[in-house]
Structure formats: C-alpha cells, structure tokens
Amino acid sequence: MSYDVDDFHRAAIETPSHEDVDAMRDLLVETLEREGTDPTVDDLGNVLATRGSGDPHVVLNTHIDTVPPHVGYERDGDVVRGRGACDAKGPLATFLAAFFDADVQNGRLTLAISPNEETTQTGGAHLGETLDADSVIVGEPTGLDVCTAARGQFEGAVTIRGESAHAADPASGKNAIRAATVVVQGMETYDDQYGPGEHDLLGWPTLTPTLIEGGEATNQVPGECTVTFDRRSVPPESVDEFVVELEEHLYSLLPRGMDLSVSLLRPDMPYPEAFETDADAPVVHALQSASGGEIRPFGAATEASYFAADAPTVVFGPGVLADDEGPVAHAEREYVDRRDVHRAADVVSEAVSDLLG
C-alpha cells in the first residue's frame, strides 16, 4: 500500500474546500483509485467506496468541506495547523488509512464521504437514507473519545403579525415589535411546558433568540416583526414536533387580535436531530476497547444524526473542538497533533477489524 497518512493529510489541508469541494473530491477519488479501489460519486456529490460484501455492514463517514476562510498548511514538530486540520481532514486521513488497513473477512466496509456538512448537509442526509448500515463511525474531532450522543440543531423564525398604524396614535394599531417581547419571554418558558426535559448525557435543550427584525418607518407602528431562533435539541424531540408545539405555545401568549407563525429557515433542507446510541452497542465497545477513550457526548451538531435513526452510530476522531485557549475547529488556529491522527487510524482499523474480521 502506498497510502501515507501524513502526505494525504497535508495535501488535503493544502486543497481549499471552503467554497467549492471539486478539487478536494478529486484528491480523494484519485487516492482511492491509486490504492486499487473503485470509488463512485453519487448524484449528491458523496464519494463512496466499498470493501467486502454482505452483512454486517460498517460505514465510515466524514466530510470534505470546510468553513471559510482557507488557512494554509503549517507544521511545527508534531502539530499540524491549517483549515480542516481537525475538522475534518484529520478524521478523513484517519478513515482512509483504516479503510485500506482493516481486516474485512466477514461483511462489508463502506467509506462514505459527504460534500457539504458545514452548510446544507444534503449529502449526509442522503447517505443516511440510502445506506443500510449495522454500525456507523462518523469522523469529527473528539480527542479520541467515543461520542455516543449529540444535540440536534434547528434554525427557524417566529413571524409576528399585528396591524400598522401612525405612531401618533399607537393605540389604533397592534405593535408587532412590542409583541416580540412576549415571544422572547415565551421562548424562555417553552421547555418548562413542552420540552423533552433534561437528558442524562446532553443536559437541557436550549432555545435562543438570535435576531429581531421589524418595522418600516420611524413614525409607524410596525405591523410585522420576525424573531429568529436557534434550537439545540435533546432526544426524543423531533424537528416537526418542536415547530408545532413552539407555535402553539407562543400563540397562546400573544395579545388578542394578533397572529404568529413558526417556520424553519431552510424548510426544504435537512436538519440534524439529537441522537443517543446505546453504550452497549458493539461499535461502541469496539472503539472504546481500541482507544481507551471516554464514552461521552459530542459537543456540536453533526451528520451522525442522519445515520443514528437506523444504526448504532458513534462520533470519533483526532483533534478537539476547543482547548484551554479557546476554539480550535473553525478557528484561525485550527490544529491537530499528527500522532493523534496516526493513533486514530490504528483505533478505527482495529475496531473495524473487530466488527468485520
């Protein structure tokens, strides 16, 4: 095998994929072809390669896109810096090594790499719908811990509708901005009445108003106002259930004669929902036994949720989301220790061999 983890990791970081993933996808496909596999690219831009056949079926998933701006490759001893160093070109380099090295005697191993985890997540959602897996490992920076749960993330807006009027006679209208204070207060009480409660691993869900927009003129009572929110959910809440119940709760608090609606910002796009995988699942045991890492939740929303509805799914990889100095992933200082990349490759290869060997 000619594949070298460090060489691929460097080439991946040096290949910008924050605006367009074509060059990064080409690098991945060429690497797979050079090692004798026959990768395919589906209609959503996912790259897939398979070893073995039949069941059980283990899937390795991570992504090739990064957040802007591009940050070039640097290496200082064992510390590698650059955009994607840990999120998620480090895990990708790890998964390629495991894909090539793992002992696959019984069943099937699929490498499934999505193109847009940082944006629309349509690739990962499609993989979750089409791959019939028995175990899934999703590559993200976990510090080599085995993450068996993560919160979901929904983004939406509450549109409040009142009645415009001249500001000289405010009582003749229905002020939508004034009603927004009721809506924001209602968000604070939503989980007390409707929420799923505190989760054993993930804690309490959050509902955070993030933007307010309304009004057309300084001398006019605003007839409409929009409050944008961010929801971080915990099991068993679903996005559809949440939208319906939030609208019902907030509408009950509105002044008489006013109306509102709750909608998702991207209604035609997937949203990652919260998930939890049983700690007794074979994939959890295999990874924990190989890594010695802690079993814990992951600190961000991830495409793992699209697989977890149908198969035991864990999040694992080298690097961290943040350290004692602050953010790492998505930050200008993004880095990973190359020794952790190598260690992660060994761990995933051992775990897959345990599941399929």
pLDDT 10s digits, 293-348: 999 999 998 999 999 999 999 999 999 999 999 999 999 999 999 999 999 999 99
Complete DSSP assignment for 164-184: -EETTSGGGSB-HHHHHHHHH
Q: Provide the pLDDT for residue 357.
A: 86
**Residue 342 forms beta bridges with which residues?**
none
Q: Closest Cα to residue 160, out of 142, 180, 140?
A: 180
Q: Measure the CA dihedral 304/307/309/313, to 10°.
A: -60
Give yes or no: residues 144 and 289 share one domain: yes
Which domain covers residue 237, as residue numbers? Answer: 152-264
Task: Using the 3D structure, point to which of 244, 264, 284 is the last residue of a domain.
Answer: 264
Q: Provide the pLDDT for residue 184.
A: 97
Let me know if residue 134 belongs to a domain. Answer: yes
Give yes or no: residues 164 and 129 share one domain: no
Give yes or no: residues 143 and 158 share one domain: no
Give yes or no: residues 123 and 156 share one domain: no
Residues 6 or more apart whose CB falls under 8 angstroms from that of 217 comprise: none
Considering its fold, how many domains does the chain have in total? 2
Let me know if residue 344 belongs to a domain. Answer: yes
Let me know if residue 269 belongs to a domain. Answer: no
Query: How far, CA to CA in Å, does 111 sit from each of 51, 173, 270?
Result: 9, 59, 21
Give yes or no: residues 117 and 36 share one domain: yes
22-51, pLDDT tens digit by residue?
999 999 999 999 999 999 999 999 999 999
Average of pLDDT values for 132-149? Answer: 98
Give yes or no: residues 202 and 336 share one domain: no
Give yes or no: residues 25 and 142 share one domain: yes
Domain with residue 240: its CATH number is: 3.30.70.360
Domain with residue 99: its CATH number is: 3.40.630.10
Residue 166 has pLDDT above 70, yes or no: yes
Give yes or no: residues 207 and 301 share one domain: no
206-235, pLDDT tens digit by residue?
999 999 999 999 999 999 999 999 999 999
Let me know if residue 137 belongs to a domain. Answer: yes
Give yes or no: residues 344 and 307 share one domain: yes
Give yes or no: residues 129 and 103 share one domain: yes
Residue 127 has pLDDT above 90, yes or no: yes
Complete DSSP assignment for 282-324: HHHHHHHHHH-PPEEE-SS--THHHHHTTS-EEEE-SS-SEET
Let me know if residue 285 belongs to a domain. Answer: yes
Return mean pLDDT, the chain. Answer: 96
Task: Using the 3D structure, point to which of 264, 292, 310 is the last residue of a domain.
Answer: 264
Q: Provide the pLDDT for residue 1.
A: 66
